């Protein structure tokens, strides 16, 4: 995306009253400038899209993002470490990012569920909750498969009421949007957000 794309997207997000926009770190200051004083939050990504940065790099990214005005962070876990059974590493890394955010930004932990079995999804959710994350999130959108209602439902059942669930990746139609919401998602990340909301307003004009 170009600088012009970021500006256009921020203005559309404001027009549609989306919950937030997520931009690359290099465009954080620009997005914050566009949306200061609005109800649209500005966020960015950490360890994106593969999650295999060291903890120190993720912490540095977090600190810089917060300093540049991010109030939401979407961090990819180290999927390989989780699949290797190194649960302490995964939890400690998430906790390190929570601490680096210092209460100035909420943390959404991306599990990349396509690479995990059900047991690992449950385990990752519990690790994220124990580490102090605010959300668990299905996917980056860069993997072979994104959010499914089944994954969202399992994640919702695997965390307590204080932790929210975000669905992302592959949510490109209104029906798929409504399906993940019905499954328990309280936030949905989608590049097709504007088109889906237009379709919603056409389908349900009285709502």
Q: What is the pLDDT of residues 17-46, one digit of tens each?
A: 999 999 999 999 999 999 999 999 999 999
Q: Does the structure show a pLDDT above 80 at 207?
A: no
User: For 40-92, what is each residue's pLDDT tens digit?
Assistant: 999 999 999 999 999 999 999 999 999 999 999 999 999 999 999 999 999 99
Taking the C-alpha atoms of residue 27 and residue 135, their distance in angstroms, rounded to an integer, is 23
- 29 has catalytic annotation: no
Query: Which residue out of 58, 134, 151, 166 is catalytically annotated?
Result: 166
Q: Over the stretch 96-108, which tens digit does the pLDDT of each residue have?
A: 999 999 999 999 9
pLDDT at residue 206, as a whole number: 77
Quick check: is 166 catalytic? Answer: yes
155 pLDDT more than 80? yes
In percent, how much of the chain has pLDDT > 70? Answer: 100
What pLDDT does 79 receive? 98
Give the C-alpha separation, 9 to 30, whole Å.
11
Catalytic residue, from 58, 74, 134, 151: name it.
Answer: 74
pLDDT of residue 17: 95
Question: Token match 């059974």: residue?
Answer: 85
Domain ranges of the chain: 3-203
pLDDT tens profile 177-205:
999 999 999 999 999 999 999 999 999 98
Nearest by Cα to 62 from 26, 91, 25, 35: 25
Residue 24 phi/psi, 5-degree rounding, is -65, 150
Report pTM: 0.96
The answer to whether domain 3-203 has CATH 3.20.20.70 is yes
The answer to whether residues 105 and 66 touch, using CB atoms and an 8 Å cutoff, is: yes
Catalytic (active site) residue 52 = no
Catalytic residue among 58, 108, 137, 151: 137
CB 155 within 8 A of CB 121: yes
Q: Give the SS3 label for residue 58.
A: helix
Give how far Cα 27 sits from Cα of 32, 59, 108, 131, 143, Å.
Answer: 9, 19, 19, 28, 23
């Amino acid at each position: 995306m170009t600088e012009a794309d970021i500006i256009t997207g921020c203005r559309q997000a404001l027009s549609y009253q989306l919950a937030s926009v997520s931009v690359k770190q290099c465009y954080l200051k620009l997005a914050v400038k566009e949306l200061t004083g609005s109800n649209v939050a500005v966020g960015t990504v950490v360890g994106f899209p593969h999650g295999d940065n060291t903890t120190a790099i993720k912490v540095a990214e977090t600190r810089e993002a917060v300093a540049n005005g991010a109030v939401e962070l979407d961090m990819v876990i180290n999927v390989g470490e989780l699949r290797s059974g190194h649960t302490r590493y995964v939890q400690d890394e998430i906790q390190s990012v929570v601490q680096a955010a210092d209460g100035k930004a909420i943390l959404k932990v991306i599990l990349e569920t396509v690479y995990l079995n059900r047991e690992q999804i449950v385990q990752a959710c519990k690790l994220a909750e124990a580490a102090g994350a605010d959300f668990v999130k299905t996917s980056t959108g860069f993997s072979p498969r994104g959010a499914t209602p089944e994954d969202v439902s399992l994640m919702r059942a695997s965390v307590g009421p204080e932790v929210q669930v975000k669905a992302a990746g592959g949510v490109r139609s209104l029906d798929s949007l409504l399906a993940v919401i019905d499954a328990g998602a309280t936030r949905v990340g989608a590049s097709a957000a504007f088109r889906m909301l237009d379709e919603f307003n056409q389908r349900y004009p009285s709502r």
